[in-house]
Each structure stands twice: as C-alpha cells, then as structure tokens.
A and B are shown apart, each in its own frame.
Chain A
Amino acid sequence: MSRYLIRRLLQMIPLVVGLSVIIFLLLAAAPGDPVDLLVFGNPNIKPEDVARLKRLYGLDQPLYIRYFKWLWAALHGDLGYSQVYKVPVLALMWDRVGNSLWLQIPAFFLSLAVAVPVGIYSALHQYSTADYIATFLTFFGVSIPAFWFGIMMIYLFAVWHPWTALPGLDWLRLPAGGFSTPGITRGLALYLDRLRYMLLPTLVLSLLFMASYTRYTRSSMLEVIRQDYVRTARAKGLAEQVVVTKHALKNAMIPIVTIVALSIPALFAGAPLTETVFGWPGVGRLLVEAVLAADFAVAQGIIIFLAALVIIFNLLADIAYAVLDPRIRYD
C-alpha cells in the first residue's frame, strides 16, 4: 500500500504540471488580453502606451517564457496578480474559497443528513408511496436549473413573503442576495446576520446535492439488499435492523463514500450559478468573472487549484475504498 501511495504521489507531479500547461495554453489561445480590452474602452490610448503596458505586464514575451516564469513563481507560492482586482491571486482566492465554504459545507452536511436516510428508506420500501415521492423529488432536484430555483426562492422569500404579515414570522423575510449587512462586522450579530444571508443559497445548494446523493444511496442499497449474503443473514434469523445496518449498509456505503470524496473538491470550487444569483462572493463567481474579464492569472490559479484538489481527492477515494472493502488491494 505504501509503495502504491508513493507511486501515486509521484504521478501527481507530472499530472499537475501537464494540466497547468494545457490550462495556460487554452487561456492564452483565447483572443484578447487585459490590455487589448483596456484599449477598446479608451479611444485616446496611444500605440506606445499599449506597448508599454504589455511590457509591464509581461504580455509581450513568448508564450513559453511566460509559462516558465509563471511556473517558477507558482513553485514559490506566487500565483501572480489579478489585473482586475489589483491584489495577489492567492489572497483573492483565499478569501473567496473561504466564502464558498460558508455555503458549501452546511449544504453538504445538510444534504448528506437527509439524503442517506431517505435513500436507504426508499430502497428498503421500493415502490411504496414514500419511494415514489422521494424518487419524484430527486428527479425534480436533478432536473431543475440552479439559477431558476434560486430566483424562485428569492421571489418567494425576499420579494413576496406573504407570511411575514403573521406575528413572529418576520424573520422569514430574507435578504434577496448579498453576503452580509454592511456595518455588522463582529460578534454574535455578525454570525446571525450571515446566517440570514446563507439560508436561501444553502437551501438551493443542499437540495441540488441532496437529489444526487439520494439517488446514489437508493441504487447502491437496492443492489446490496439483493445479494446472497443479505438473504443468508436473514435466513439465519438475524433481526431486520441488524441485517440492514451491519450487513447491507456497510457494503452499500462503499460507492457512496467514493462519490462523497469526489464531491469534496467541488465544495472548494464553489457554485458559479448559485453564487452569481445570490450575489455571494465565492470562488465560483470569481472564476466566471475572471474568465469574462480576461483576468488570466486568477482564472489559471483557480482552475489549477481545483485540478490539484480533484487529483488529491481521487487518491483519497481510492484509499477509502481499500479501507472499506478488504477485497481491494493496491500494490
């Protein structure tokens, strides 16, 4: 196992470097750089100023030199400067990843807490009314676009909110997007305020997560409970609860653990649509804005960071597989 681990870790290095080359080339191949866009907004700019700016930003150099300079700096922990935000990419990413996690982690755990029991119940009571309802809701959750659902939630809770006329329900009139109320910067008030802003986007995100986790849990459980060893356990006269929890559930959880492990990088990636609709300053929204504004250093930094996370969590998922299923051996 340790040899396998070392091999996989060593393989990760060329993989990340290769990815960085591809991402660098793809972004560089897109026409127009930040200076070109600047020129277009300013009819009075002179060609010598364009040349000066390109030199200052290093955009006049051949692609391979730009790449190696970027790689060398990245190895020293410097992912460059954002041309749009005028701050180091790492500092910008750090803040935004933090903001994304404020949404993603509660949504992730909330969805797991609901999806796994619902998926198990649904599988154990296949074709029951509850199963049909759960299946319909998961189908709904997988199918609806996040931005539409987000807008509906905003309309319902921020614009329309008829129930707030009832006494005691005023708190259910929620902010129509944003991150926090300016001016509230510390203490319990800050957390309560943040909670109000988080409620709607977290709800939207968790419903989307929930749908796919429920489907995985249900199908995995269905597969396991039809296996011979479960039938044998039942035949031996074991209590149904023991059969389900000790024999079926443990094995059914193996693919779910993999899916969950592979979803973790997505938590850091933020949710571009949900964050945009709710005006949440997360990494997903930052990535969309960076691509649109030709802010290459930021786009590149985020994509490579996410790619590295995907590779790392793939490895962790493989390890988790081996731990949970003794039949799997890595050499």
Chain B
Amino acid sequence: MRHWRWSSLLLALVVTFGTATLVGAAPARPATGPDTVVLFTQQEPSCLAPQPDSCQMFVASVIRSLIFTDLVGMTNEWKYFPILAEKIPNLKDGDWKVLPGDKMQVTWRIKRGFTWHDGRPVTAQDWIWAWRVNMHPDFPTAGRDVAERVENILAPNPYQMTVQWKKKYAFANLGAAGSGILPKHATERIFRQNPARFDQAWGTGVPTIGNGPYVLREWQRGSSITVEAYPNWQGVPPYLPKERGVRRIVYRFISDTNTIIANILSGAADAFDETAVPFVQGLELEARLQRENRRDWVLRAEPGLIWEHIDLNLDNVHLRDKRVRHALIYAINREELVQQLFQGKQPVSHSFLPEKHYGFNRNVKKYAFDPARARQLLAEAGYTPGPDGILQKGGQRLSLRFTTTAGNRTREQVQQILQAQWRAVGVEVRIVNLPARAYFGDALPRRDFDLAMYAWVFSPTSDCEGLYTGDTIPTPEKREGQNYPGYKNDEVTRICHAVPEELDEGRRAAMLRRAQELWVEDLPVIPLYLRSDYTGHKAGLQNFLPTGADTPVTWNAPSWRWVR
C-alpha cells in the first residue's frame, strides 16, 4: 500500500511536470488582452517633453513617438514620409529655395484637422514656440545644432510656416527647426515661470498633452507607462480597424536583463525593444528558443547605427607612422572575431559609416587578415624583434596602452583576442581599462590613450563633421571637439565641413564616399563592427518592424495587431 502511494505521487509529479512543460511552451497569446501590447525595456525615460535634446535617452524617444508626432516620419526602410506636413518640401517644387548669400527658405504646409490631446488644433505657432523655447538661454537643452542654423520662422496663417535658414543645411526638409513641437497654449505659462526648470515641470508625468496617436494615461515611476489610442488620430500610418488594432501599449521598465528574459519566457512580455536585451543575451535567448522548439516568439538581430571601433592616438610615436597603423589592422582577424563572439550577426565594418547610410562607400578598401603583410610593413617601418620577441625601433619597444570601459564583458573579450593576435606579430598591447564615467568623462577628452575602443552612435543623416575634421581635436587644456585620434587631413576636413551644406543628396553622397576613401587609407581608426540590437515579439503580433536606426520601433504602432 505504502509502495503504491509513493508510485502514485511520482506519477502525478511526472504528469504534472510534463503537462506544465507543454503548457509553458506556448504562451503565445497576448499577456493582458487582444487590444494591448506589453513592451519591455531596460531604462525608464526621465521625461517625455517632445524637444529631442532635452530628454535624450533613447527610450524617451521611443515612447515620445507614441505621444507626439512631427512633420515627417521615417519607416523601417529609412524612407521619409509626411505626417503632419502635407508634403516633404523639395528644391524642385520650389517650397525649398536657396536665397542670395547661401541663405535658405523652406515652406511647410500643415495638414488641417490634427489636434492636441486636449482638443486644441495643432498650428504653426506650436513649432515656432518650440523653437523659441529651445533657443532661450536658460533652457537646459543639450542640442541646438540645428535650431541655431535657423534665423526666423514666419507663419502667414495657422497652417503654413516659412523657416528662414541662416545658411545652407542639407536636412532642412526633415523638420521645422530641430526643436520638435510644443503645445503653446498648454506650456507658455509654465515656461515663463521658470525656463531653467521647464523640462522638470512639463513632460515628466500625466497630464502631458501630446498630439500623437496615443495619449499618456498612466506613469508608475520605476514601473510602467501606459498609453491609450487617441480617438481623433488622423495620421500616417492610420489605425487598423477598431476590432483588430492595438488600442493600449504598456511599457514596462525592468533594469535587470535576466528578469526581462524571465518575463519573455513566462509570457508576461508581448514584445521587447532594442534596449531590453543585450546582444549576447539575445543570442543565448534565441538559441534557447530554438533548442526548445518554441515558435511562439520571433527574434531579430538588426545591425544598427552603433559603431564599435578603436581610435589610434596619432600623437603616439609609433602610431604616427601609417605603416604601423596598417600593420595593426592586417594583424587582426575581424571576420573570425565576429563569428566567434557574435555568430556573425554583428557585421565587420570597413568605414566610419554604416552600410545602410546613403553615403556609404561600398568600394572602400577592405583590410583582410594578413599577418605576413603586417610583419612586412613593420619591418619596412624599421622595427626589429627585441630579446623578448616584441618589436623595437631606436630602443623603443612597440608597446601600446589599450583602453576601454571596464566591466563591459564583450569589449574585454574583444581586447583579449586582439591582444593575442597583435602579440603574434610582435606588438605588445597593455590593457588598462577604466570605469565608463572616468573613461568618457576624462580619459577620452584628454586623449589619454594609445588605443581606445568604444562606440559612436550615428543617425541616418550623420556625417564626419566634428569627428574627423582637423579643427576639432581636443587638447588637455582645451577639451573641445571629439576628434579623439587627432586626425588631420586637409581634404577630409574640407569635405566634412562642406557635407552638411550640400543640398543635393547625390553630390553629398559622392563627397562622403571620397572622405571615406581618404580616411580608410590614412586609417586613424580601426573599424571593428556594427552593433546589432535584438528586438522580439510574440509570433501573434503583426507589423512590429524595428528600424535598425534611431527611429523607434513604435513608429508604426497604430498598425500593430494581434492575429486571432
């Protein structure tokens, strides 16, 4: 009898666990309901004010794009489309004109019928107001790069505005003045009370009056933000019919990535954005889902605009010699590195621009792994092996200090692989890493490194001005500019300054291609790879289309839907 009891218990456990495994393998239905998507992300935005540079975190832009909308949007294929504008101005139609003295004038016609979430109409005054706020000396915004190029904005009527530009600017038809849009009627009084605290007084909670497809309904600090469909939305993309579309989006903030993965596996998450799961954990998650034959999740690794590279300090006595720089890149096997560490899902880069960029040079010189060529170049440069096998020249060992952010496991792995490969050709590399704050706040601006590995975040309209122009090299005394390698090539400097003022995209692309040719030959930087970001969603959720750019995955949220 006793034996029978134990056997039944065992059998019950086996059945339970077996059934549970099957049940647990298929949580494909929406976490909370067929009109809701629960999206997980790692960070919480600080504020949701629509000025792009006052609330800078990426996640802020993702959620902001649900609540606010502007003149022009961008698809996942990097195509621009008008949202609040009737059309995108262009030179051919004459709504974008070059005036004498290289000034410009861009005329925008605004669609009628768009309203703020309190029912007031969206008019030209709202853009003019946003620009004035952004330009106020006490408003703590980090970015006025575009706004400062604007001389004035005129509004002959509420649905038309003319932006007058001080000088030529290539991307003048992608927005009014780079300052976003603000509801003048709802924010003017708050701003005038204390301009310096405006970003702390508005856009930090509910009610935040937006003009986008979703209304901010609830913000539980440290936990979640909930937005609900704005019934009067008339924008692009339009809402799917009421019975099929997603009417509510819940953004949940969990800082620990293991916990996010547990939520994905348990079915509590419907989707996750680019910031939720680090790449390496995304790889592991994908492998696990495949291993368990789970088809309830769709994961994508999309190469993005984050570019990992190694700056070479051109003030260093060894690195000043171009042959040494070339030898360094020939000595490392970048293809094998991305295969070993990232299963090839983070592609090797060959230039400072990503492949999807309009100005990317496909024919740029590519340095393949060739240690024999590296040794030959170093010998030509006058280096001979020392007693310990490390090359030396004029009594100086070829020993370089390689820095990056301490605690970043991926970068530290890359460092170790590269260190070994460089050692094989006689170059000694000493790893000296620093915490991110000390690294970005102090070491890089002082150019205190020989080799510095980190990433730049680009946008689809980025160019080389500020990064590789000879007049933007910071010094210990004057930390201005971000040309950390100290690269100076007069032709590159000229091109990089000219690109933002060239209005013709074809000519602009040609200039960028030339700059890349020169840059790759001079090699002030070793391009490593483009970082990919993982996004994912339950298989039943349709139209979830990450952009791989700085445009958020929520760009087309009104057309998301659940398959029944």
In the bound complex, residues from chain A placing their C-beta under 8 Å from that of B224 are 178-180, 182
In the bound complex, residues from chain B placing their C-beta under 8 Å from that of A154 are 258-259, 262
B259 near A277 with CB under 8 A, answer yes
Q: Which residue of A lies closest to B55 (CB)?
A: A86
B442 near A281 with CB under 8 A, answer no
In the bound complex, residues from chain B placing their C-beta under 8 Å from that of A276 are 255-256
Q: In this assembly, does B441 line the interface, its C-beta being within 8 Å of a C-beta of chain A?
A: yes
A279 near B255 with CB under 8 A, answer yes
Q: Given known contacts A40-B441, A56-B138, A57-B140, is B268 in contact with A158 (CB within 8 Å)?
A: yes
Q: Which residues 34-60 of A sit at the B interface, judged by CB distance below 8 A?
A: 36-47, 49, 52-53, 56-57
Dominant SS among interface residues on chain B: mixed
Q: In this assembly, does B34 line the interface, its C-beta being within 8 Å of a C-beta of chain A?
A: no
Q: In this assembly, does A65 line the interface, its C-beta being within 8 Å of a C-beta of chain B?
A: no
Q: Given known contacts A30-B437, A162-B16, A294-B437, is B256 in contact with A46 (CB within 8 Å)?
A: no
Mark interface residues in B444-459 (1 if CB within 8 Å of A CB, else 0).
1100000000001100
In the bound complex, residues from chain A placing their C-beta under 8 Å from that of B220 are 179-180, 182, 281
B138, B197, B440 — which one has the most chain A CB atoms within 10 A of its CB?
Answer: B440
A37 near B440 with CB under 8 A, answer yes
B200 near A86 with CB under 8 A, answer yes
Q: In this assembly, does A229 line the interface, its C-beta being within 8 Å of a C-beta of chain B?
A: no
Q: In this assembly, does A165 line the interface, its C-beta being within 8 Å of a C-beta of chain B?
A: yes
B457 near A279 with CB under 8 A, answer no
Mark interface residues in A66-99 (1 if CB within 8 Å of B CB, else 0).
0000000000000001101111000010011001
A31 near B441 with CB under 8 A, answer yes
Q: In this assembly, does A14 line the interface, its C-beta being within 8 Å of a C-beta of chain B?
A: no
Number of interface residues of B (CB under 8 A): 61
Number of chain A interface residues as a range: 35 or more
Q: How far is the CA of A100 from the CA of B225 in the complex (A)?
A: 20
In the bound complex, residues from chain A placing their C-beta under 8 Å from that of B457 are 41
In the bound complex, residues from chain A placing their C-beta under 8 Å from that of B254 are 177-178, 279
A279 near B259 with CB under 8 A, answer yes
A46, A87, A165, A182 — which one has the most chain B CB atoms within 10 A of its CB?
Answer: A182
Q: Which residue of B lies closest to A91 (CB)?
A: B221
B250 near A182 with CB under 8 A, answer yes
A87 near B204 with CB under 8 A, answer yes
B262 near A182 with CB under 8 A, answer no
Q: Given known contacts A31-B441, A155-B262, is B20 in contact with A162 (CB within 8 Å)?
A: yes
Q: How far is the CA of A53 from the CA of B140 in the complex (A)?
A: 6
Q: In this assembly, does A183 line the interface, its C-beta being within 8 Å of a C-beta of chain B?
A: yes
What distance in Å separates the Cβ of A288 from its nearest Cβ neighbour in chain B? 8
Q: In this assembly, does A140 line the interface, its C-beta being within 8 Å of a C-beta of chain B?
A: no
Q: Which residue of B lies closest to A53 (CB)?
A: B140
Q: Given known contacts A162-B20, A277-B256, is B440 in contact with A32 (CB within 8 Å)?
A: yes
A182 near B16 with CB under 8 A, answer no
Q: In this assembly, does A175 line the interface, its C-beta being within 8 Å of a C-beta of chain B?
A: yes
In the bound complex, residues from chain B placing their C-beta under 8 Å from that of A181 are 32
Q: In this assembly, does A132 line the interface, its C-beta being within 8 Å of a C-beta of chain B?
A: no
Q: Given known contacts A56-B196, A165-B19, is B263 in contact with A176 (CB within 8 Å)?
A: yes
Q: Which residues 224-273 of B sit at the A interface, judged by CB distance below 8 A?
A: 224, 226, 250, 252-256, 258-260, 262-263, 265-266, 268
B142 near A53 with CB under 8 A, answer yes
Q: Which residues 509-546 of B sit at the A interface, judged by CB distance below 8 A?
A: none
Q: How far is the CA of A109 from the CA of B241 in the complex (A)?
A: 52
Q: In this assembly, does A159 line the interface, its C-beta being within 8 Å of a C-beta of chain B?
A: yes
In the bound complex, residues from chain B placing their C-beta under 8 Å from that of A36 are 440-441, 445
In the bound complex, residues from chain B placing their C-beta under 8 Å from that of A37 are 437, 440-441
In the bound complex, residues from chain A placing their C-beta under 8 Å from that of B20 are 160-165
A52 near B143 with CB under 8 A, answer no
A44 near B466 with CB under 8 A, answer yes
Name B221's contact: one of A160, A162, A281, A289 (CB within 8 Å).
A281
In the bound complex, residues from chain A placing their C-beta under 8 Å from that of B467 are 43
Q: In this assembly, does A166 line the interface, its C-beta being within 8 Å of a C-beta of chain B?
A: yes
Name A177's contact: one of B200, B259, B444, B456 (CB within 8 Å).
B259
Q: How far is the CA of A277 from the CA of B258 in the complex (A)?
A: 8
Name B263's contact: one of A56, A95, A177 (CB within 8 Å).
A177
Q: In this assembly, does A185 line the interface, its C-beta being within 8 Å of a C-beta of chain B?
A: yes
Q: In this assembly, does B46 line the interface, its C-beta being within 8 Å of a C-beta of chain A?
A: yes
Q: How far is the CA of A156 from the CA of B214 in the complex (A)?
A: 37
In the bound complex, residues from chain A placing their C-beta under 8 Å from that of B250 are 182-183
Q: Which residue of A lies closest to B253 (CB)?
A: A279
What distance in Å separates the Cβ of A266 from its nearest Cβ neighbour in chain B? 20
Q: How far is the CA of A52 from the CA of B24 in the complex (A)?
A: 55
In the bound complex, residues from chain A placing their C-beta under 8 Å from that of B266 are 158-159, 161, 173, 176
Q: Which residues 269-288 of A sit at the B interface, judged by CB distance below 8 A?
A: 276-281, 285-286
Q: Which residues 129-166 of A sit at the B interface, judged by CB distance below 8 A?
A: 151, 154-155, 158-166
In the bound complex, residues from chain A placing their C-beta under 8 Å from that of B480 are 47
Q: How far is the CA of A250 from the CA of B53 in the complex (A)?
A: 63
Name B223's contact: one of A45, A160, A162, A178 (CB within 8 Å).
A178
Q: How far is the CA of A33 from the CA of B479 in the complex (A)?
A: 15
Q: How far is the CA of A52 from the CA of B143 in the complex (A)?
A: 11
Q: Which residue of B lies closest to A291 (CB)?
A: B437
In the bound complex, residues from chain A placing their C-beta under 8 Å from that of B260 are 177
Q: How far is the CA of A42 from the CA of B145 in the complex (A)?
A: 10
Name A31's contact: one of B137, B143, B263, B437 (CB within 8 Å).
B437
Name B262's contact: one of A30, A176, A183 (CB within 8 Å).
A176
What distance in Å separates the Cβ of B267 from its nearest Cβ neighbour in chain A? 9
What distance in Å separates the Cβ of B136 from its nearest Cβ neighbour in chain A? 11
In the bound complex, residues from chain B placing their C-beta under 8 Å from that of A164 are 20, 23
Given contacts A166-B16, A182-B38, 15 further A-B contacts (CB under 8 A): A37-B440, A38-B56, A39-B142, A42-B143, A49-B144, A84-B46, A86-B47, A154-B258, A158-B263, A160-B20, A164-B20, A177-B259, A177-B263, A181-B32, A281-B221
Q: Give 21 pairs: A residue, B residue, CB < 8 Å, sorted on A.
A: A44-B143, A45-B145, A82-B46, A84-B46, A95-B221, A99-B222, A151-B258, A154-B258, A162-B16, A165-B16, A165-B17, A176-B262, A176-B268, A178-B268, A179-B220, A182-B250, A182-B252, A276-B255, A277-B258, A279-B255, A286-B222
Binding site for B on A (CB under 8 A): 30-33, 36-47, 49, 52-53, 56-57, 81-82, 84-87, 92, 95-96, 99, 151, 154-155, 158-166, 173, 175-183, 185, 276-281, 285-286, 289, 294
Nearest 10 CB-CB pairs, A to B? A32-B441, A281-B222, A162-B20, A279-B254, A176-B262, A177-B259, A31-B442, A44-B145, A179-B223, A86-B200
